[in-house]
Structure 1
């Protein structure tokens, strides 16, 4: 796992690979493109008054990285066999974090269509689960690692203050389409885009619903650029991811003029080429909402 650049070289296939890991008897997953490497635990330096789920810090190849106890974050018991534990070194939102798990089992290649969105009945507003996938008769829960980090450090999330620093802005009549599966992030995007002057926004929970809406407008004979002026999409979404959504837009003669901005925690130097391959006009890393607004301005003002 030290170098996963050879994994999923294609882009826009609506597939992903997940690293399956365990906390006790519970099985969870993390998108493999977030994973830099998997290592055995090394000595941790305790940090006084740190967040309860932060075990401390380690030095790895000259970098000082925080270690997050995933079991404690999920409210689960500690490891019964700590000698078998693993550290998952992950990178997203322009930061590296080490996640302490109990074991790492294998890698699965699946389609986003196989991932079910958790039901509101059992998910709960503060759930860290963003998807459920059935593998070998068992259920693997995909975790929202961004939420785990924001729960530890709220300042690492989208902040409307970033937009306010741009100064007074006029109301815009332009209509934006946003594909984002997280209810929390949809609310934050609504608030920040409204602050930026964009209050005519159509929100969709995944790329599948978004492309269905866009294609239905075309079927109705409407000029798409009169209806929607710009698309903003996350990457990780059940049913259809943002790369596949972008590819569907850019390969459709009736939709390809639509500007697409990918707004995701997965925009890194190693992964930026994936968005370029499917024709994204811009890519902005979460939580840089002010940069997103400035990119929107280039197309709709």
Structure 2
């Protein structure tokens, strides 16, 4: 099953996404279609000695060698023995391709980001494993945090403050930055790395809607203009309530906001999807976890 990315949500910034629903054990989960390159029948896997317990091994898919991550191991599912219906979801994120083993794939749903809720603190670990919860057709679908799964296996694929320290001593900046990022872990890492780079006046929001509400609040203020209080916006793409494409479009269509530079910082900056950020008016697009590249773009814009 190959997916035509060009035909998916061609109208960028609609605050919608398409979710592939799949099963792992008895659980029902989802993945953003934009992360998926194809879905194939599970095949024989070559074992990798001394690898992480969540890595099943490697496969050769046409001309590419891909690492296989077993989501049954990641999610602690008891093996049922019969894996004849298993599928590999071939995903591209953080500029790399990974095959994820799942028990089966059902269908694709098109929904609004407004329908996605954040896991509550009472969900006993759910927050660390998922990015959102969808209630649809009488069932609960968990959107897995695939980026965190990959970083847990290979921490070098994450954001690291040591990368910034290699830039050397930097001047402190008084520029004010707004960041929309739904991951609490990434908000903490961005706070540390941006502060190390000299950008200490950073205001964080959990999604695009909260960031836009803040800009609109400043818009009505009699004390300062929006541009005095915000010199740059950094946004993730996948966020409950309002995604980064829709946020960027709303900023660039507003006469009071449109001169504020917007950087999209996401694991979904691929060759196929880059045009979506261009369409909504993003000034720059940087792939996670390239934090040094992000800082270089901030330096150029403000």
Q: TM-score, normalization: structure 2? A: 0.97
Point out where structure 2 has 5 or more consecutive residues left out of the alignment. none
Deviation at 1:49, TM superposition (A): 0.6
Residue among 203, 227, 230 paired with 1:228: 230
Instruction: Provide the residue aligned with 1:142 in structure 2.
Output: 143
SS at match of 2:128: coil
- Which among 238, 257, 260 is matched to residue 258 of structure 1? 260
Match of 2:3 in 1: 3
Q: Which moved more, 1:58-67 or 1:121-130?
A: 121-130
Counterpart residue number, 2:62: 61
* Correspondence 1:122-201 to 2 at 5 A: 122-124=123-125, 127-201=128-202
Task: Provide the alpha-carbon RMSD of the alignment.
Answer: 1.1
**Cα displacement (A) at 1:125:** 8.0
2:204 aligned counterpart, secondary structure? strand
Verify the 8 A CA contact 1:4 1:33 in the aligned structure 2.
no
Deviation (angstroms), 1:123 = 4.7
Deviation for aligned residue 1:78: 2.1
Larger mean CA deviation between 227-236 and 72-81 belongs to 72-81
**Which ranges of structure 1 fall in alignment gaps of 5 or more residues?**
none
Q: Report whether the alignment pairs 1:269 with 2:267.
A: no
Partner residue of 1:237? 239
C-alpha distance in 2 between matches for 1:184 and 1:285: 17
Aligned length in residues: 300
Distance 1:39 1:130, change over 3 A: same
Residues 67 and 100 in structure 1, CA contact (< 8 A), matched pair in contact too: yes
The CA distance in 1 between the partners of 2:14 and 2:77, in whole Å, is 35
Give the C-alpha shift of residue 71 in structure 1. Answer: 1.2
CA contact (8 A) 1:40 1:86 kept: yes
Instruction: Trace 1:107-126 onto structure 2 (pairs within 5 A).
Output: 107-124=108-125
1:41 to partner: Cα distance? 1.0
Instruction: State the shift of 1:164 in Å.
Output: 1.3
- TM-score, normalising length from structure 1? 0.98
